[in-house]
Amino acid sequence: MNTDIAQLVSVALYSPKPDETVAFFHDMLGLEISHREGQSVYMRAYEDFYQYSLKITERKEPGLDEVTWRASSPEALGQLAARIGTSGLGIGWTENDYAHGRAYKFKFPDGHQHKVLWDLDYFQADADLASKLRSRPSKRPLRGVPVRRIDHVNLMVNDVVKNTDFMVDTLGFKLREQKIGDGGTVVGSWLSVSALVHEIGLMRDGTGSSGRFHHVCYWYGAPQHLLDIADVFSERDVHIETGPAKHGTTQAYFLYCFEPGGNRVELFGDTGYLIFDPAWKPVIWNVENAIDLEKSSIWFGGHLAKSFYRYATPVAPGHSLEEIGR
């Protein structure tokens, strides 16, 4: 598939408990620390090819700092920057971010900050971390149940249509699945630039807030690992929100939990289904219909917690996990 954006590179998050957040990703999910700088820690999964896929920075409130995308070529980067600039959502060029070359920063209509780049640093393992498996950039860690690579990001937005249109018309994403609610309101979009069903999901923020972060997802490639990590989490008091279970949307086996800083993290047991059809028509779920509502979110394996539609970071007043309840 030929899109100007090629892939999701990294997600930068804020945490009020950065040491605990980093320990969670390092000890339980097996991420390696690639770099520390100022108030930030840069981490990667063992099959992430670039220098980092997760940046954790200390801040009073959890939430999203920035999402980074890689363009398909230097030319595509220039075309993207021009189109984003015309849309009025451009911030401008930067060259100062660790391990990332010249990048164009911009905002989504809802306010979330993103950047797109071509040049970036590939991870080069030291001898002790190097794998003999030549397609693997570093050894499989011995800690927790290690995830393999970053998979996708999910953002909450006030107006799903407006943000979806920006992603399709300006960034060149393909709309893969969508949920339509009361009176035809679009309540969720799943979009991709590859055969995956999504590298990004957008969901309507029922609290009326803007620019909030719903979750980042890392991929295992084997559903059994969800059962293994759920066992680890249960023993160590990590709050599992829902799962292990199977989504209707994307068809992936999943688990949602919260890292100690309060951000939601999803783990994918597999990839779900893949899309190779160049004339793909978006899958539409009508969630006014009770069967579509239930089956799109959870194909099987329990029910989504009430917090799923209202809890995001930063936490909206009156919508903390305690206030929402189970």
**Complex with Fe ion: residue 154 or 163, whichever CB lies closer:** 154
Q: What is the residue-wise DSSP string for 267-314?
A: EESS-------TTPPPEEEETTSHHHHHHHH-SBSS---GGGGT--BS
Q: Give CA–CA dist 92/90, Å, rounded.
A: 6
Binding region for Fe ion (CB under 5 A): 154, 217, 266
Q: Which is nearer to Fe ion, 4 or 266 (CB)?
A: 266
Strand order in the sheet with 240-246: 240-246, 253-258, 264-268, 212-219, 149-157, 200-204, 186-192, 174-180, 283-286
What sign for the dihedral angle of Cα 11, 273, 29, 62?
A: positive
Token reading at 57: 């920075």
The helix/strand/coil state of 181 is: coil
Q: Give the Cα separation of 82 and 109 in Å (integer).
A: 17
Q: CB-wise, 145 or 217, nearer to Fe ion?
A: 217
With respect to Fe ion, which residue has the nearer C-beta, 213 or 233? 213
Which residue, 116 or 202, has its beta carbon nearer to Fe ion?
Answer: 202
Which C-beta is closer to Fe ion: that of 80 or that of 200? Answer: 200
Nearer to Fe ion, 154 or 192 (CB): 154
Rounded distance, CA 215 to CA 225, Å? 19
Provide, rounded to whole angstroms, the least separation between the CB of residue 301 and Fe ion: 15
Closest C-alpha among 305, 284, 287, 307 to residue 295 = 287
Q: What is the DSSP letter of 182?
A: G
CA 223 to chain centre: 19
DSSP code of 24? I
